[in-house]
A and B are shown apart, each in its own frame.
Chain A
Amino acid sequence: MAVAEQHKTTATSKYLIVYVCLLALAGVQFAIAYQNIDPGQMFVRMMIVALVEALLAVLIFMHLWAEKRGFVIFVAVFTIFVLLAMQYGWTDSYRMEHGGAPYSSYSK
């Protein structure tokens, strides 16, 4: 029973540390929003912080770190591949920057 209690206390401390880190990272995102920098730079910095937050949440809060290695690889490869594949459209959005996206000037 004492061992279980100690395990619970250790785990709770770990979750509290991760929680504080997530709060701090969210604070960093808000601070970046008030920096006087190029929007592209701002986007990149915010996404890096968001990815670190997501990694912490997935690995620690969702216990992915404790799952079988095969499952971790399955989730990582499958998810990252599809997410990367979705990025193919960005170049086209830059092309439309001058003419505007479809229906962008539409206002009822």
Chain B
Amino acid sequence: MSQADMTMQGHSAGLVSEPAFSMPTKKLAMWLFIIADTMTFAACLVAYGFLRVGTPNWPRPFHSITNLAVMTFILLTSSLTMMLGVQSAKTGDKAGAFRWTMITAALGVVFALLHIREWLALIDEGMTLLKNPWGTGLFGASFFSITGLHLTHVTCGVIALIAVGVRYKGGRYNADDLEIMGLYWHFVDLVWMFVVPLVYLLNLSH
């Protein structure tokens, strides 16, 4: 091998040596999306806090935490089932991975239904985007915006879980793809940990 060939090989080896942060491109893309989405939710929650602190007659319409506790339990459990799905996929248990992924999607559907039921109850009490019977009209706008954004994420997550699960079962996706899907689902769960205290628990009527 000539010196020129060795130099060329050395250069190309340097160019394609390692992907950024030694992580698959898809996974890095998901992390970057999660970081960007964190900013979106943080901006919404900070704006919500700003309005809440700056508004004297902020409503406290929530009487019971039962529905909220059940929703939180379901979302946390769905994170565990997602983990179990990824774990099964990593060890080559394809049927187990598919089963856990579908259980996660089912829990996501239950969460979304409970969320919609809660929305309908509040709408029945007279709450809209612009007004409510308890205080400033800003409450409805901020409540529906933040919980709606989260609900949109859950809905998209359920659709993606089913799509990725089916493709994984069909052999088009592998365990890494399921893990990347898991990252998104855990993020949705993580956001809920901040939505619960800020939007619900601090607005309980004692």
Contact = CB atoms under 8 A, between A and B. Distances in A.
Interface string A12-53: 100110010011001001101110100100110011011001
Q: Is the interface of B mostly helix, strand, loop or mixed?
A: helix
A27 to B, nearest CB: 8
Contact of B76 (A22, A96, A97, A101): A22
Q: Is the interface of A mostly helix, strand, loop or mixed?
A: helix
B interface bracket (residues with beta carbon within 8 Å of A): 35 or more
26 contacts: A8-B91, A11-B87, A19-B80, A23-B73, A30-B201, A32-B197, A32-B201, A33-B65, A43-B202, A50-B194, A50-B196, A50-B197, A62-B183, A71-B21, A71-B31, A74-B21, A79-B38, A93-B49, A94-B53, A98-B56, A103-B137, A104-B138, A106-B130, A106-B136, A107-B136, A108-B137
Interface of A: 4-5, 7-8, 11-12, 15-16, 19, 22-23, 26, 29-30, 32-34, 36, 39, 42-43, 46-47, 49-50, 53-54, 57-58, 61-63, 67-68, 70-71, 74-75, 78-79, 82-83, 86-87, 89-90, 92-98, 100-101, 103-108
